[in-house]
Amino acid sequence: MKRTRTLVAKVVPMKVRSRLLHFAVLAMYALSVSCAAPLYRRGGEVQYDIKFVKDHNTVTATYSLNVHPGGSELLSDLKIYVDGKNLIDNFKPGQIAFNSSSQVVLDHADRDVTVSFVVSTNQAWSATESAVLRGGKTYDDAEFSR
């Protein structure tokens, strides 16, 4: 009795093997890219750190935003709100970074104050978040980062 060996190489035609190998390589690459933690993310490469600090009747907002330098994404809009009032009046669209701070004096420090921000880019990405600084607290803060 003669033994026959069946190998995958003999059974699967060369064209199919090459396509399977191609898809396997692409799948491995996609997996390695998705597992990596890049500094900037695709589809909204904005990094921001926005802080609101309440001290008695004053709220200070500090903000630092930037996009990946060398990319096509630019900051197109930024609004920082304290109790419905926009604190930013010097933002110009088309920047890759924007850092500053602003202060506002509250009319009624004993009431809750809503703080929020809206940021968007020229690549149709946007983010918005809000929080409440409690009126019953002399000191309170809120922080948003990405």
Encoded tokens for 108? 């009624």
Burial 63-100 (b: 16+ CB within 10 A, else e): bebbbbeeeebebbebebbbbeeebbeebeeeeeebee
Place 76 in a pLDDT band, splitting at 50, 70 and 90: very high
* Average pLDDT over the chain, rounded to an integer: 82
Looking at the domain 47-145, which fold is it?
A: Immunoglobulin-like (2.60.40)
**pLDDT at residue 34 in the model:** 44
Tokens representing residue 98 in the block: 């924007």
**Tokens linked to 36:** 């990596």
Delimit the domains of the chain by residue range: 7-36, 47-145
The count of C-alpha atoms lying within 13 angstroms of the C-alpha of 119, restricted to the half-sphere facing its C-beta, is 28
**Under 8 Å between Cβ of 103 and 58:** yes
Query: Which band of pLDDT confidence, cut at 50, 70 and 90, is reported for residue 10?
Result: low
**Cα separation values, 84 from 24, 59, 73, 113, 116, Å:** 53, 13, 28, 9, 9
